Amino acid sequence: MSKRSLAARPRPSVRSLSRAAALSLALGAPCAALAQQRQQAAETQQQGFEAYVSEDALQVLYVRDMDVGELGRNDVRGGFFINEDRDLIGLADMLVDVGEPGRRPYWSLQVGPRVYGALLTIENQDIFAIALGGKLSYSIGRGRRTSASVSAFYAPDIITFGIADNVQDVTIQLETQLTDATRIFVGYRVFEFDLPTDREVDDGVHIGVRHAF
């Protein structure tokens, strides 16, 4: 190809280059914004499961991090509990973090309601209760990979429906982090319904896992 033919080709003007750049930015901006939104959603919206097994009981919960307005982002959990007597109990809770991480970085305090719906194997022992309580945790060490906690929930007679007078649910637990997404724990739980003859649906040591995805 001769130098004359190369010189005869029109060179792109500054205006056309500016238009091309503006078009590229216009097309790329929505993609970048969508990618950023997906990244932010992945960072702020987490879900997972929590399960434990003991000698006589099994519990499985689905956990989701949700935005509850002025209360911020908090974990909402729901699932089921079953024991060797085939007592089947559905439960759900939402705990709001009310601790002061700035002043007490190793302590965490969460409070909120927990709902129980129980189908006990004893005849005509169906129970629904709304309990109030919370969980107090203390992180051990600078890395905060291990923590000890105690949680307690109580449903008084006025918001316990059925023939039960109240519901008591207390757990002491020690957990440690295996990976960024997985924690294991061991604990002791006392979980009972106040009936004419008290019904302890769980009273013993358990071991479990919590995994986020």
Q: Find, among 151, 149, 61, 165, the residue nearest to 112 by Cα.
A: 151
What are 24-53's pLDDT values in tens digits?
444 454 444 444 444 444 444 589 999 999
For domain 45-212, give the CATH number: 2.40.160
For residue 89, the cross-strand partners are 81, 118
Asked if residues 161 and 127 have their Cβ atoms less than 8 Å apart, the reply is yes
pLDDT in the model for residue 105: 85
C-beta atoms surrounding 6 within 10 Å: 8
pLDDT in the model for residue 5: 46
pLDDT in the model for residue 18: 53
Mean pLDDT on 113-129: 91
Euclidean distance between CA atoms 47 and 77, whole angstroms = 10
DSSP structure class, residue 126: E
What are 166-206's pLDDT values in tens digits?
999 999 999 999 999 999 999 999 999 999 888 999 999 99
What are 67-120's pLDDT values in tens digits?
766 666 788 999 999 999 999 999 999 999 887 777 888 999 999 999 999 999
Q: How far apart are the first and last CA of the chain?
A: 60
pLDDT in the model for residue 19: 56
**Domains of the chain: which residue ranges?**
3-42, 45-212
- HSE-CB for 73 with a 13 A CA cutoff: 10
pLDDT in the model for residue 41: 41
Q: What angle do CA 180, 186, 191 make, to 5 degrees?
A: 125
pLDDT in the model for residue 72: 67
Q: Find, among 213, 126, 122, 130, the residue nearest to 169 by Cα.
A: 130
